[in-house]
């Protein structure tokens, strides 16, 4: 356990048990680490009162001279703020979120090489690119596995393909038909769903014939293709939807309007009613129309992943899509049943 300077011990006592972000500083006032937590006091204390096996953490804690705290109402806000601060400040001991340019890659549907129908590229060169993706190695594995299915050919409303241990050589006709199928599958949600369904059918068919090795190949392929699908616009199911989300917090409610995986507007209410939601949604419309386009997709990817993960965790959130089926009373009923975050 680290020896805690007296001034830090006193500061830790004042940290609230709330969500938020903490910034650790060295003697020169430099921010050397940024973190977030649902419970700031518990998380910060763990650095000084817990046993740490990692040398890097021990080294960092030994350099901490001061800690700044930024409380937030919700964990979502803490995660978004942490990500933004790390990208801007690039603290010495942070790794995640710090390097946008080096980590992320795109997948491109090629038109000039029969040996490489799909290629991994560092930048988006044209409209045949999807992404960005965080894991180059996982994307490479997906591309390699798909190579064992070529050519993928359209058969009515389905896709026909057969697994081969070695990639099948394609002539010009096969390449063009395969390319057209790849464009459909990778850029259209419905076509991706059809393709995934076909892989799943082949997996079940192989398993029923006791071809377990082949079934395992199709199972792994299913996971890799789903990963590719996340890079397509709307791939997670949330990017192309407008979403109204609410949480119960210590002193009321916090609601968010999310569009294009970005928080367009948020507001805290002591009491949430149908009227207050109506006013909130009316105010949001002007902001949506005026919001700027985000050109740096790589920088935005981490924020999209945070928003997507938070929207899937509905234990303490009410989430509704803003479309023809949006129902204010249903939203309020759902929110009232959620566990408060405090």
Domain ranges of the chain: 6-98, 102-228, 242-336
- Is the pLDDT at 114 greater than 90? The verdict is no
Most confident of the ranges 93-102, 234-243, 277-286: 277-286
Q: How confident is the model at residue 235 (pLDDT cuts 50, 70, 90)?
A: low
- Is the pLDDT at 294 greater than 80? The verdict is no
Lowest mean pLDDT among 66-75, 132-141, 255-264, 289-298: 289-298
- Is the pLDDT at 340 greater than 90? The verdict is no
Using DSSP's 3-state secondary structure scheme, residue 323 falls into coil
- Is the pLDDT at 87 greater than 80? The verdict is yes
Q: How confident is the model at residue 102 (pLDDT cuts 50, 70, 90)?
A: low
Q: How confident is the model at residue 277 (pLDDT cuts 50, 70, 90)?
A: very high
For residue 3, what pLDDT is reported? 66
For residue 325, what pLDDT is reported? 79
- Is the pLDDT at 64 greater than 90? The verdict is yes
Find the radius of gyration of the CA atoms of the chain.
Answer: 24
- By DSSP bridging, strand 158-160 and strand 129-133 are unpaired
For residue 182, what pLDDT is reported? 94
> What is the C-alpha to C-alpha distance for residues 271 and 67, in angstroms, rounded to an integer?
34
Q: How confident is the model at residue 95 (pLDDT cuts 50, 70, 90)?
A: confident
Q: Percentages helix, strand, coil for the chain, rounded to the nearest 5?
A: 45, 20, 35
Name the token pair of 193. 């769903």
What contacts 78, CB < 8 A, 6 or more positions away?
A: 19, 20, 21, 36, 37, 38, 72
- Is the pLDDT at 57 greater than 70? The verdict is yes
What sign does the CA torsion over 65, 68, 74, 79 have?
negative
Among 93, 7, 1, 14, which residue's Cα sits nearest to residue 46?
A: 1
More confident residue, 230 or 74: 74
Q: Average model confidence (pLDDT) for the chain?
A: 87
Question: 120 - beta bridge partners?
Answer: 107
Write down the pTM of the prediction: 0.72
How many whole angstroms from its chain centre is CA 179? Answer: 28
Contact 38, 89 (CB under 8 A): no
> What is the C-alpha to C-alpha distance for residues 116 and 120, in angstroms, rounded to an integer?
10
Pick the CATH number of 6-98 from 3.40.50.300, 3.40.1440.10, 2.40.160.10, 3.40.50.261: 3.40.1440.10
For residue 289, what pLDDT is reported? 57
Q: How confident is the model at residue 66 (pLDDT cuts 50, 70, 90)?
A: very high
Lowest mean pLDDT among 39-53, 173-187, 294-308: 294-308
| Average confidence (pLDDT) over 172-182 | 92
Strands (E), the chain: 20-25, 31-37, 66-71, 105-109, 118-121, 129-133, 153-155, 158-160, 242-249, 252-259, 262-269, 317-321
Q: How confident is the model at residue 193 (pLDDT cuts 50, 70, 90)?
A: very high
More confident residue, 50 or 31: 31
């Amino acid at each position: 356990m680290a020896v805690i300077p007296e001034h830090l011990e006193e500061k830790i006592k004042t940290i609230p048990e709330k969500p938020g972000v903490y910034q650790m500083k060295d003697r020169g006032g430099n921010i050397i680490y940024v973190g977030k937590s649902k419970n700031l006091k518990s998380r910060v204390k763990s650095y000084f009162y817990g046993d740490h096996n990692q040398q890097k953490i021990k080294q960092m804690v030994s350099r901490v001279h001061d800690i700044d705290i930024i409380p937030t109402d919700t964990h979502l806000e803490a995660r978004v703020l942490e990500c933004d601060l790390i990208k801007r400040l690039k603290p010495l001991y942070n790794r995640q979120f710090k390097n946008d340019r080096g980590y992320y890659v795109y997948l491109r549907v090629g038109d000039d090489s029969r040996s490489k129908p799909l290629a991994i590229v560092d930048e988006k060169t044209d409209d045949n690119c999807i992404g960005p993706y965080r894991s180059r190695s996982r994307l490479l594995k997906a591309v390699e596995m798909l190579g064992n299915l070529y050519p993928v050919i359209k058969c009515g409303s389905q896709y026909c393909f057969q697994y081969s241990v070695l990639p099948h050589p394609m002539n010009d006709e096969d390449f063009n038909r395969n390319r057209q199928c790849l464009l459909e599958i990778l850029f259209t949600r419905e076509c991706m769903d059809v393709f995934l369904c076909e892989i799943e059918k082949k997996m079940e068919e192989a398993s029923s014939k006791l071809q377990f090795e082949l079934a395992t190949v199709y199972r792994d392929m299913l996971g890799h293709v789903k990963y590719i699908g996340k890079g397509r616009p709307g791939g997670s199911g949330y990017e192309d939807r407008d979403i109204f989300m609410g949480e119960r917090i210590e002193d009321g409610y916090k609601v968010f309007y999310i569009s294009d995986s970005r928080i367009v507007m948020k507001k805290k209410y002591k009491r949430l009613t149908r009227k207050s939601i109506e006013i909130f949604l009316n105010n949001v419309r002007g902001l949506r129309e005026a919001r700027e386009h985000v050109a740096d997709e790589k920088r935005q990817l981490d924020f999209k992943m945070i928003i997507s993960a938070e929207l899937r965790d509905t234990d303490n959130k009410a989430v509704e899509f803003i479309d023809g089926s949006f129902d204010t009373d249903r939203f309020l009923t759902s929110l009232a049943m959620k566990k408060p975050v405090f």
